[in-house]
Structures are given as C-alpha cells and as structure tokens.
Structure 1
Amino acid sequence: MMKNIFTICVLALFFIGCEDDDNINPSGLIENTVDISGNWQVASVTQNNIDITNQFDFQSLGLTFKNSGDTPSTFTKTGTSNIPFPFSMTDGAFSFDDLVYPTKLNFSGSEDITMELAELPLVSKGKDFKLRVTLGCSDNIYVYSFKKK
C-alpha cells in the first residue's frame, strides 16, 4: 500500500514538473534610463512654499539638456544672470545619481552642484520636473519648476 502511494506521488510530480514554462517577454524586463534631453524653461519658483515667480524674471531662465546615446551628457543655461539660481555657470556636464531611478541631478563645470528632484519619480520624456535647492541659508528651500518647451 505504501509503495503504491509513493509511486502515485512520484508519477504526479513527474507530470506536474513537465508543464510548459510561461512565456516571458524579455523586453518587458528592461529598465530604461531617464531621458530629459531638450529645452526646458522655468515655469514657477517657490521659496519655502511661497510663490515668488513674479518677483524676478524667472521665465527667462532655461536649461537645455543633451544626451550622448542613452547617457546624460551636457547642459546649457540660458537667460538672465540676475535671478537667484544655484549656479552661475552657463554650460557644463550633467548626470543623475541613478540612471533609472534618479533622485538627484548633478551639474558640473566651473563648479559642482547637486540638486534634489522635488517630485519622484522623474518621468522620462516627461513635460515637467522640479528641482529643490537651498541658496545660502539651509532654512530657505527653493523649488524650481521646469516645463518642456
């Protein structure tokens, strides 16, 4: 009797083990890098959650990002230099802290600046993104909202 139960269990495992594997779409498992290449313009700026967009000519400030293949490469800053912004350089290199799930945007050129992304996740080919920075005093938090031109 015990031998018959063992034989039945072995045969059942044999047939269960022969099931076809589910078909997996290999391209469905690929994680793409974030791409923000293109021209961006400041849409609004807040200081400690207070809108200060109309205090300066923020809309004249723009950033152009370029990629080298799938990798972030260079940026160019356009606009007036008399508005508060975390850096004075007009061009240089940029990168993310993580190419797939970035939380920070790094700028390098005549100076190195890292800014936090104010909203996550950063959507590749999206129409807007926000940078959170402190200018001078850590009690003053600025959020720059950019819109794609």
Structure 2
Amino acid sequence: MKKNYNIKGMLLLMLVVLMAAACKTEKVLPKQEALKDISGSWQVIKATRNGTDLTALVDLSQFRINFDGVGYKLMNKLPFIVTQDGAFSLDDPLYPYKITFTAAGGTPVSTAFTYPIVNGKRQLSLTFSPGCTNNAYVYVLQRVN
C-alpha cells in the first residue's frame, strides 16, 4: 500500500513539474517589416468619382505616375491631386496611411493612401478631391512591369 502512495506522489510531482514547465513564456521578437517601396511606374486600373465607376468611361491606360525615390513624374495626365511633377513623401515608411505630393513651386497636398496586395500584385489606392471638394476620386493603381 505504501508503494502505491509513493507512485501516486511521484506522478503528482511529475505532473506539477510538467505543468510549470509548460507555462514558461518565450520571448518572440517581431520580424522587421519591410519599407514600403513605391518606386517605379504605376498606371490607373480603376477610377471612381463619388462612387461612380469611371473605368469604362475614360481611357486610363496611358496615364502613368513614376516614383523615383523622392520625386514623381506625371505622364498623359488625368484629373489628379497635383498637376505638375515634383516630390512626394509618406507619413511613415513602414505603415504609410498618407502620401504628400509637392508639385514644383507648389504647396504640399496630402491624401489618404493604402498599399494592399490584391491577387498577388501590389496596388496603390489614392483618395483625393482635385479642385471641387464635392468630387471625391479614388484611383487604384498597379505597378507597370
């Protein structure tokens, strides 16, 4: 009978030790997020104005915005947040929510900015009102290879 208590005691002690070891916390370091790189040439793949899809109504295929580190160039212009080439900046290089365009000789203009991956391809989504604040445009751009 005494051996039975010793075995139960040993099992209980092992169970307590295993439970204490299982509760040990590990330090998990987060991986460093890559900087958002928008360099390259981008074209509009979808455009809306006040919720109305303009994609079928306007030829968007020729418009390009080329980002080269700190500057941008517009080609085959459409209504856009700026009308001249200039510089740009992101509010945060890791988690950007806003992009600021500064046309040559102009004042900085900021707009909402998202950078999702859709169907395996990076996209830019810009929301802005050029001129009339009653018109809100959303351009979805995709990098041109």
Max Rg structure: 2
Amino acid at match of 2:101: F
What corresponds to 1:144 in structure 2? 139
Matched letter for residue 41 of structure 1: Q
Instruction: Compute the displacement of 1:127 (Å).
Output: 2.2
Please give the alpha-carbon distance, in whole angstroms, between the structure 1 residues aligned to 2:128 and 2:116: 20
Q: 1:101 aligns with which of 92, 95, 103?
A: 95
Counterpart mapping for 1:124-139 below 5 A: 126-139=121-134
Q: Cα distance, 1:34 vs. partner? A: 1.0
Aligned residues: 121
CA distance in 1, matches of 2:74, 2:67: 9
Q: CA RMSD in A?
A: 2.8
Is the partner of 2:125 in helix, strand or coil?
Answer: strand
Unpaired runs of at least 5, structure 1? 1-15, 68-72
Give the fraction of aligned pairs with identical amino acids, expressed as a percent: 28
The 3-state SS of whatever aligns with 2:56 is: helix
Q: In 1, distance between residues paired with 2:46 and 2:89?
A: 23
Picking from 41, 53, 56, the partner of 1:54 is: 56
TM-score of the two chains, using structure 2 as the length reference:
0.68
Contact 1:34–1:123 (Cα < 8 Å) also in 2: no
Which position in structure 2 is the counterpart of 1:10?
none
Q: In structure 2, what is the equivalent of residue 84 of structure 1?
A: 79
TM-score scaled by length of structure 1: 0.67
Partner of 2:137, secondary structure, is strand
Equivalent residue runs for 1:9-28 within 5 Å: 22=26, 24=28, 28=30
**Secondary structure of residue in 2 paired with 1:138:** coil
1:13 corresponds in structure 2 to: none
Give the distance between the partners of 1:132 and 1:63, measured in 2 at CA: 15
Contact 1:36 1:126 in 2 (8 A): no
1:34 equivalent to 2:31? Answer no
Deviation at 1:123, TM superposition (A): 4.4
| Pairwise CA distance, 1:142 | 0.5
Whichever residue aligns with residue 97 of structure 2, its letter is: T
CA deviation vs aligned residue, 1:60-98 (integer Å, no higher than 9, x gap): 11111122xxxxx1212111x4x32221103x2111011
Contact 1:64–1:75, Cα closer than 8 Å, also in 2: yes
Runs of at least 5 residues in structure 2 that lack an aligned partner in the other structure: 1-19
